[in-house]
Amino acid sequence: MKTVLSLLLITLFSPSLFAEDLKVYAAAAFKSPLSEIAAQYEKETGHKVAVIFDTAGATAQKFTSDPQAVLLITSPAVITDAEKIGKLKDGTTYRLGDSLAGIAYPPGSAKPDVSTPEKLKAALLGAKRIAFSDPARGATVGIHFMKVIDSLGVKDQVLRKSTVAKDGVETMRLVLEEKFDIGITQVSEILQASRDAVAGPFPKEFELATTYSLWHRNNISPAAKTFVTLMTSPASRAKLEANGIRPAVNR
C-alpha cells in the first residue's frame, strides 16, 4: 500500500531532478519525532530538510529573520504576536498538539514526589542542583517555572542553585549527563531524552499545557506542501503522541 506521501509524489516531478532544500525552525519539544519525519521525507522524495531547534520564542525570531526559512513550529501565541506586528503574514496555521510542563530527574536516583504544591516545594528545596530553560530566550516552561517558584515562596533559594539552560534539550543533558537533581522542561522533551527520567507533570494547581502549531506562508513550493501533508498525517500525529505531544482534536 502506498503511503500518503508516495501518493502525493505522483503529481510531482522526479525529486532526483528537482531536489529542494527545506529549512524548518521548530521548538525543541519536537526534536525526536520531527527528526524522524524529516528523515522519512528525505528518503521518499530526494529533497533535503534542515531543522533548527530552539525555544518557542527564539525559534520564531530566527524564522522571521531568515529569508530561506520555510516552516515554523512554535506556540500559537508566538505566531499570533508575530502576525500582529507583521513579521508573519499571508500564512496558514495548523495546530499540531499539546505538551505538559514537567519535572525530570536522573534515572537511578531517588524519584522526587512532585504530586502536590507542598511536595514540589520540598523537592525543589531538597535538590542540590536544578536546571531549567532560559525564560529570557522565550522558553515557555522556563517562564512558567519562574512564576511557580515565586508562588511557592522559594524563588531566591531555587535560583541560587539553578543553572539556566539554552533550551529543553540542554536541560535534559544536564540532568542525564551531569546528574542535576531536577530539570524543568516539557514532558515531551523528557520522554524523548529518557523515558525513565520523568518525575511527573507539575501539580494540577500549576499545570501548564503548551499548544504547538505549524505555520507556513501560503505561497510555499509543492515540495514544502508535501512535507506539511506528511507532518499533519495520522501516522505523523501518532509519532508525535508517542513522543509526548498530545494530538490536536482539530486544526
Beta bridge partners of 214: 73, 94
Please tell me the distance from the alpha carbon of residue 103 to that of residue 85, in angstroms, as a whole number: 34
| Matching residue, cell 494530538 | 247
> 149-163 pLDDT, tens per residue?
999 999 999 999 999
The pLDDT mean for the chain works out to 91
Is the pLDDT reported for residue 11 higher than 90? no
Query: Quick one: 4-98+211-247 is in which CATH superfamily?
Result: Periplasmic binding protein-like II (3.40.190.10)
Hey, what's the cell of 250? 482539530
Q: Are 121 and 113 in contact (CB under 8 A)?
A: no
Query: Quick one: 100-206 is in which CATH superfamily?
Result: Periplasmic binding protein-like II (3.40.190.10)
> 112-170 pLDDT, tens per residue?
999 999 999 999 999 999 999 999 998 999 999 999 999 999 999 999 999 999 999 99
Sorted by where each begins, the domain ranges of the chain are 4-98+211-247, 100-206
Return the pLDDT at 189: 92
Q: In a 10 Å sphere around its CB, with 0-12 CB exposed, 13-18 middle and 19+ buried, how is residue 181 labelled?
A: buried
Question: 4-98+211-247 and 100-206 share one CATH topology?
Answer: yes
Cα dihedral angle (127, 188, 200, 247), rounded to 10 degrees? 160
153 Rama sector, left if φ>0, alpha if ψ -120 to 50, beta otherwise: left
109 CB-near residues (< 8 Å, 6+ apart): 179, 181
Q: Are 112 and 123 in contact (CB under 8 A)?
A: yes
Hey, what's the cell of 39? 528523515
Please tell me the distance from the alpha carbon of residue 96 to that of residue 112, in angstroms, as a whole number: 31
> 18-77 pLDDT, tens per residue?
679 999 999 988 999 999 999 999 999 999 999 999 989 999 999 999 999 999 999 999
Hey, what's the cell of 77? 501565541
Widest CA span of the chain, in angstroms? Answer: 61
